Amino acid sequence: MTIRNLEHAVDPKSVAVFGASVRQGSVGRIIMENIAAGGFEGDVWPVNPKYREIDGRRCYATADQLPAAPELAVIATPPRTVPGIIGELGRKGTRTAVVISAGLSRENGLRQAMLDAAKPYLFRVIGPNTVGLIVPHANLNASFAHMNPKPGVLALLSQSGAIATSLIDWAADKEIGFSHVVSLGDMADVDVGDYLDLLAGDTRTRAILLYLESIPNPRKFMSAARAAARLKPVIAVKTGRHAAGAKAATTHTGALSGSDKVVDAALGRAGILRVRGLGELFDAAETVARFPKLERSRVGIVTNGGGAGVLAVDRLADLRAELAELSQETIERLDKALPANWSRANPVDIIGDAPPERYGAAVAAVADDSETDALLVMNCPTGLASPAEAARAVARLAKDGMINGKPVLTCWLGEMTAREGRRILQKAGVASFETPAAAAAAVSYLSDWSRAQKALMRVPSSLGEDIRGHSATVRDMLRNAASKGRRMLTEPEAKAVIKAYGIPVPETIVVRTGDEAE
C-alpha cells in the first residue's frame, strides 16, 4: 500500500486531456469546459488527433507530441486505446492519470493490459469508469460532472459517479463545499484505502465522506480507515445492506458486497460512522465535525411540548442513543424555576406556554448537570409564546454551538412559524433540525461517534497473527467433517473448536441411552 505518485492528483501544474473534443454533449467536451470553469491556472493540453485546436488551445495528436510530461493525465478515449496511452505517458514521465473511459473489464483483458502498462513506472491510475476528480482548492475540475463544487472542508470518495454528482448537487444548494471529490470508479489501481491514506494527512480536509458498494481490499481499507478515523471523522454509506441491495450492487459495479453484519462490524472497528442514506452523510458530517469528541453522550432534553419529547425519546431508543438521568439537584433547581406541572424527569417538559425566561432557566439547569453530555432543545408552536423568542433565549446561552462546553442540538417543530426560530439559532452557530427524528439522528451521530472512537482506542490494530489455538485439534475436526462431505460442524464439534481457542463453553456430553444420561 502506498500513496506514492498520488500527490500529483492533488495540485498538478499541468493537465493533458486525452479524448478532448468540441462535440456538444460529449464527455471530452464537458471535461474541457469543466477544467476551464474550475479556473485551473496550470497548463492544459488537449490531446486528440482529430483536432488542431480546441477552445483556442493547441490540440496534440499523441502523448509523444506534448511539450512536456503532464503532471496529471485525464483519459476519455475508447477503452482499447487506454493501455497504449498509459505506456506512452509513462515513458514521457507522467505518473498519474484519471481514466474516465468505461469498458476496460477483466473479461476483455483491457483492465490488466492497462495495469501492466502502468506497472514499470509505479504509474497510478484512478478509475477506470469514473466521472473524474475535483479539487476545488486547486481550481481543478477534471471530471464530467454537471457542476463545479465550491471549496470546503469535506472530502467525498464515491464508488458511484452518479452518487458523486448527486451529492455535489445537494451540497451546492446547502452551500457546502469540498476539499476533494473523487469518483473512484472500478478501483483497478487506486482504491478507497489509498485515498483515505492521502486524505488523512490533508490539512484542508476536516471530514471524509464515503459512498461504497463494496470494499475491494479489506485489509488495506481497514488499516487506512483506522488511521484516518483517529484524525478526523470518516462517515460512510455502504450499500448492499440486504441481499436484494447486494444483488443490485453486483449488477451495478460487479463487486461482491459481503455479508452486511461483517461489514458493519468492520466499519465499526475501523472507527467509521456508518449512516444509511445520502442526506445523513452531510447531516452526520456537519454534526460530528462541529463539536469536539465526546467521551459519552447522555442527552438532556428540554421541550415545551410533551409529544415532541416522546417522539425524540422513541427515536433515540431506535438509534441506541443514551438518555440522561437528571440529578436530584437539577430536579430541585427546576422545581423552583418551572410551573408545578412540569414533567420532573428527562425530557424536561416546560409546558406549552413557556416564555423565553423559562427556556433559559431550564436549559441552563440541564446544561449544568454533570449527568448530561449534550442537550436537545425543542419547541412546538402554540398561540401562547413566541418560538422566535424561545430561540433567542437558547442562542444567548450558546457559545460555539455549545452550552457549558456541551453540544446543543435544537428542533423547532413546524415550518411557517419555526423558520425564524431556526434562522436565529443557526445564525448563533447552534445546530438546528426540522423534525424530532432528524434531531434525534443528530444526537445519535454524536453517540455513535464517541462509540466509534472508543472502539478505535480499545481494539489492537491486528489480532490475526497472535491467535495460538490448538490448531492441530481444529484442523483434525474440520478435516473429519470435510471427509464426511459435511459443510457444517455438529454442535459438539463446533464447541470443541471454540474451546481449542481457549474460549470457555458449557460442557457437553453425548449420551446414547437413558441409562447413560442417568
Q: Footprint of a second copy on residues 363-382 (CB under 8 A)?
A: 380-382
- By CB atoms closer than 10 A (0-12, 13-18, 19+), residue 268 is middle
Least gap, CB of 147 to a second copy (angstroms): 7
Q: Tell me whether residue 93 or residue 307 sits nearer to a second copy (CB atom).
A: 307
Least gap, CB of 79 to a second copy (angstroms): 12
The answer for residues whose C-beta is within 8 angstroms of residue 57's C-beta and 6 or more apart is: 44, 45, 46
| CA 168 – CA 328 distance, rounded (Å) | 49
Size of site (CB under 8 A) for a second copy: 87
| CA 314 – CA 296 distance, rounded (Å) | 20
Q: Tell me whether residue 64 or residue 314 sits nearer to a second copy (CB atom).
A: 314
| CA 31 – CA 179 distance, rounded (Å) | 19
Query: SS3 of 381, please?
Result: coil
| CA 219 – CA 151 distance, rounded (Å) | 32
- By CB atoms closer than 10 A (0-12, 13-18, 19+), residue 156 is buried
What residues numbered 433-492 form the site for a second copy, per CB under 8 A? 435-437
Least gap, CB of 104 to a second copy (angstroms): 13
* 268 makes contact with a second copy (CB under 8 A): no
| CA 123 – CA 63 distance, rounded (Å) | 15
* 310 makes contact with a second copy (CB under 8 A): yes
What residues numbered 30-49 form the site for a second copy, per CB under 8 A? 30, 34
Under a CB-based contact definition with an 8 Å cutoff, are residues 176 and 165 in contact? no
For residue 28, what is its C-alpha cell?
Answer: 471530452
The region of 112-120, 226-234, 274-282, 476-484 touching a second copy under the rule CB under 8 A is: 274-282
Least gap, CB of 177 to a second copy (angstroms): 14
Q: Tell me whether residue 136 or residue 309 sits nearer to a second copy (CB atom).
A: 309
* 296 makes contact with a second copy (CB under 8 A): no
Label residues 203-235 b or e (16+ Cβ within 10 Å = b): ebbbbbbbbbbbbbeeebbbbbbbbbbeebbbb
Q: Tell me whether residue 465 or residue 516 sits nearer to a second copy (CB atom).
A: 516
The region of 60-68, 93-101, 106-114, 311-319 touching a second copy under the rule CB under 8 A is: 311-319
* 237 makes contact with a second copy (CB under 8 A): yes
Q: Which of 81, 112, 139, 166 binds a second copy (CB under 8 A)?
A: 166
Least gap, CB of 310 to a second copy (angstroms): 4
Least gap, CB of 317 to a second copy (angstroms): 3
* 27 makes contact with a second copy (CB under 8 A): yes
Find, among 109, 101, 176, the residue nearest to 131 by Cα: 101
* 251 makes contact with a second copy (CB under 8 A): yes
Least gap, CB of 201 to a second copy (angstroms): 28
What residues numbered 86-145 form the site for a second copy, per CB under 8 A? 102-103, 131, 144-145
Rg of the chain (C-alpha set): 28
Q: What is the dihedral of CA 64, 68, 74, 79, to 10 degrees?
A: 10
Q: Tell me whether residue 249 or residue 366 sits nearer to a second copy (CB atom).
A: 249
Under a CB-based contact definition with an 8 Å cutoff, are residues 125 and 104 in contact? no
The region of 73-81, 219-227, 365-373, 429-437 touching a second copy under the rule CB under 8 A is: 429-437
Q: Which of 344, 399, 427, 475 binds a second copy (CB under 8 A)?
A: 344
* 263 makes contact with a second copy (CB under 8 A): no
Q: Tell me whether residue 268 or residue 352 sits nearer to a second copy (CB atom).
A: 352
The tally of CA atoms less than 13 A away on the side-chain side of residue 248 is: 7
Under a CB-based contact definition with an 8 Å cutoff, are residues 392 and 359 in contact? no
Least gap, CB of 302 to a second copy (angstroms): 13
